Amino acid sequence: MAKVVADISVSLDGFVTGPEPGPGQGLGRGGEALHTWALDGDAIDRAVQAETVDATGVVIMGRTLFDIVDAPDGWSDEMGYGAGLAAEPPVLVVTRTPPAHVRLADRFTFVVDGLGSAVDKGRAMADDRDVVIMGGGAVVRSAVDAGLVDEVRLHLAPVLLGSGTPLFDGAVPRGLRQIHVRASGHATHLTYRVD
């Protein structure tokens, strides 16, 4: 059965974006430092990224993140899921209202009946590969809160953003068991099993 993994980069002070994120500035002011490991990483970062992309069968994201990656300066043939690896797994977007126009239409399917339904659809589509919930922060937090996630993978960036989109602010208390740590020059890659 497919494993459901919440996978997201986070600052030392717990933010997944800097202040004022949106199209044209998807990670907010200063937030690009969160993805240095993915865009300009060392050998360890590249190995983490390649292993994750290879294991991914389906990606799930929320509508806010979709609006950023489908914007003109978002994903392209050269840059997409897996950053420069530009992998193209099926992407399920959780939204109440699908957009009228989608720039990268062949990559996205819209799920209007909730996050739980998206996870069920992802499991059915992924075979034995991972269903990766990549964001945004509210979607990752909601999935963990709802008990939909088997593992949480955090890419802890050595930056303090001061404000932005918090990852676990107001989260349901839950135990996690650390199962893997890998440090690079740009991030500490942490994997937790959700109890």
Mapping DSSP to helix (H, G, I), strand (E, B) and coil, where does residue 19 land? Answer: coil
Q: Omega into 136 within 30° of 0, i.e. cis?
A: yes
Q: How many helices (H) and strands (E) does the chain have?
A: 5, 10
What does the pLDDT read at residue 24? 76
Distance CA(14)–CA(109), nearest Å, equals 30
pLDDT reported for residue 111: 97
pLDDT confidence of residue 58: 97
User: What is the SS3 assignment for 4?
Assistant: strand
Q: What is the pLDDT at residue 133? A: 98
**pLDDT tens-digit readout, 92-128:** 999 999 998 888 777 899 999 999 999 999 999 998 9
Comparing C-alpha atoms, which of 130, 114, 113 is closest to residue 122?
130
- What pLDDT does 183 receive? 97
66 touches 97 (CB < 8 A): no
Q: What is the pLDDT of residues 18-31, one digit of tens each?
A: 998 877 788 899 99
Does 4-194 carry CATH code 3.40.309.10? no
Q: Which residues, at least 6 apart from 159, have a Cβ–Cβ distance to it below 8 Å? A: 11, 12, 30, 33, 34
pLDDT at residue 21, as a whole number: 84
Q: In which residue ranges of the chain is pLDDT below 70?
A: none
How many beta carbons lie within 10 A of that of residue 2, not counting itself? 19
Hey, what amino acid is at 119? V
